[in-house]
Chain A
Amino acid sequence: MKLRIFVTLKPGVLDPQGKAIHKALGGLGFEGVNDVRAGKLIEMDVADATDDAAIDDMCKKLLANTVIENFRVERV
């Protein structure tokens, strides 16, 4: 089973990387960009028997730092 795990900064947590990207887009002349937030995409291939609880556990114990990040799991 293939998974795509999106790890994003929680709302309200400052994202210096997103800000830099935003500024660079402005520098290239792109207008109308209101905000940019950068995150991570982690693609995994796991055994079909892997249950939701185990996937949730992997996200909370390692893939995301829940102090600053949210995660969302998508089954491909």
Chain B
Amino acid sequence: MKTAVIVFPGSNCDRDIAVALEAVTGVKPAMVWHGESELPAGIGLVALPGGFSYGDYLRSGAVAARSAIMRAVVAAADKGLPVLGICNGFQVLTEAGLLPGALMRNEGLDFVCREVKLTVDNAQSAFTSRYAAGEEIVIPVAHHDGNYFADQDTLDRIEGEGRVAFRYAGQVNGSARDIAGVLNAGGNVLGMMPHPERRIEAAHGGDDGRRLFEGLLETVGA
């Protein structure tokens, strides 16, 4: 499966996600600069990496969400192309309107950088098919603005539609209903604050993140 990683000024997990994608797919991802206006042809996934695009100016992900390449990403997502946003990538996806809600400053104001336990809420999406519903996994987080917010109606709706992919098993950042990862209505866009790409081999202390990429490969195709 061919993949693309979008690189914004200030992205700093673009290489991590590229290494993870290559390890699982066997194909080096195309690294696409934010100023480009088109995605490479024939890709099965676009990944928006973690980092601090544009120094988090204005709001985390706000400026990156208005970059040229994001118009192509939104158009491709609307046609069903899988899009994965991790950490800052999640913030960019909400700012671009591809996912509901917003990511605010952590409730305790601290930058949280540690391993956290997650529960898999929806194990039927293209991203989570290799997990079992209710399974507990360990994935690291590293963020300052991971406090997921949406109004009550939106939270009820996304929960009712099975669009919560992952929840924190304990309190991490003040997120509404402990939401750690959200799917769009079509199930082809996932945003999550934890970093699965930092947990793909034993040397990382575990490989719970690897199955996300393996599941994608299986679902989307080689």
Q: CB within 8 Å of B: which residues of A?
A: 13-14, 16-17, 20, 61-63, 65, 67-68
Contact = CB atoms under 8 A, between A and B. Distances in A.
A65 B102 contact: yes
A20 B199 CA distance: 34
A66 to B, nearest CB: 9
Contacts of B150: 67
A63 B95 CA distance: 11
Nearest to B154: A67
A17 B174 CA distance: 13
B102 A68 contact: yes
Contact of B95 (A14, A16, A20, A65): A65
Given A13-B149, A14-B104, A65 B62 contact: yes
A71 B101 CA distance: 18
Contacts of A65: 59, 62, 95, 102
B105 A17 contact: yes
Interface of B: 58-59, 62, 66, 94-95, 100-102, 104-109, 147, 149-150, 174
Contacts, number: 36
A68 B105 CA distance: 12
Contacts of B174: 14, 16
A62 B149 CA distance: 18
A20 B149 contact: no
Contacts of A20: 109
B106 A16 contact: yes
B50 to A, nearest CB: 20
A14 B107 CA distance: 8
Contacts of B62: 62, 65
Contacts of A68: 102, 104, 149
B83 to A, nearest CB: 19
5 contacts: A14-B107, A14-B149, A16-B105, A16-B108, A61-B66
Given A14-B107, A16-B107, 19 more contacts: A13-B104, A13-B149, A14-B104, A14-B147, A16-B105, A16-B108, A16-B109, A16-B147, A16-B174, A17-B105, A20-B109, A61-B66, A62-B66, A63-B58, A65-B59, A65-B102, A67-B100, A68-B102, A68-B104
